[in-house]
Amino acid sequence: MAGADAREPVPFIGLTGGIAAGKSEALRALERLGAATLSTDEVVHELLATDEARDELVGRLGARVAPSGRVDRDAVARVVFEGPEEREWLEGYLWPRVGERVAGWREEELRREPRPRALVVEVPLLFEAGMQGAFDRTIAVTASGATRAARAGERGQAGLATREERQLSQEEKEERADFTVRNDGTLDELEAELSAILSRIGS
């Protein structure tokens, strides 16, 4: 763990934000600034690619979620958004496994020499899942509605408002986060803001 030796602890930071606000861009910027980073979305993607997860999901949600023998994430999303019970089951299946992966990654990164400037985990539903207490500090990435809608459109992600229904508003995320970074400008501006935040956390 971070406090296992006499050295200064490495800050453990949760990164979240609105849909299409630029969380992935922020995560990459933090890595360039010397942080070790992990995306829980990527962890979930890896988990869903396993035969074990496919069999569990098909057994619970039906063959429609793996029409070609592999889990189709869009199909899973359609099914679980139809009913809260299925969504709760899926979260109950995935999140303990994601938590194990994050814990293992954290221990591994703390053994690195030199140690990273910070450990940052991107968790889109950080506050919604009540996970903020697991981190030393939290950062919320926000952007204007127009900016987020444009980014979502570029990715072929329609219906921004519908996809946000089970998320807290950006304003609520800002209120709950220890730090907020606005991502309506350039990547250089985003990186500069994040650099300042890391300096404050590490001071």
Instruction: List, for residues 29-72, the tens digit of each pLDDT value.
Output: 999 999 999 999 999 999 999 999 999 999 999 999 999 899 99
The structure tokens listed for 164 are 């946000």
> For residues 37 and 185, which has the higher predicted lDDT (pLDDT)?
37
Q: How much is the pLDDT for 2? A: 42
> Residue 80: is its pLDDT beyond 80?
yes
Question: What's the rounded Cα separation, in Å, for the pair 176 and 170?
Answer: 10
The answer to whether residue 1 scores a pLDDT higher than 80 is: no
Fold agreement between 12-35+118-203 and 42-115: yes
CATH superfamily of 42-115: P-loop containing nucleotide triphosphate hydrolases (3.40.50.300)
CATH topology of domain 12-35+118-203: Rossmann fold (3.40.50)
How far from chain centre, in Å, is Cα 125?
7
pLDDT value at position 203? 66
Q: Where are the domains of the chain?
A: 12-35+118-203, 42-115
Within 13 A of 198's CA, how many CA atoms are on the CB side? 23
- The CA-based angle 175-1-13, given to 5 degrees, is 20
List, for residues 128-140, the tens digit of each pLDDT value.
888 999 999 999 9
Q: Return the biggest CA–CA distance within the chain.
A: 53
Query: In the predicted model, is pLDDT for residue 104 greater than 90?
Result: yes
The tens digit of pLDDT for each residue in 147-171 reads: 888 877 766 554 445 555 668 888 9
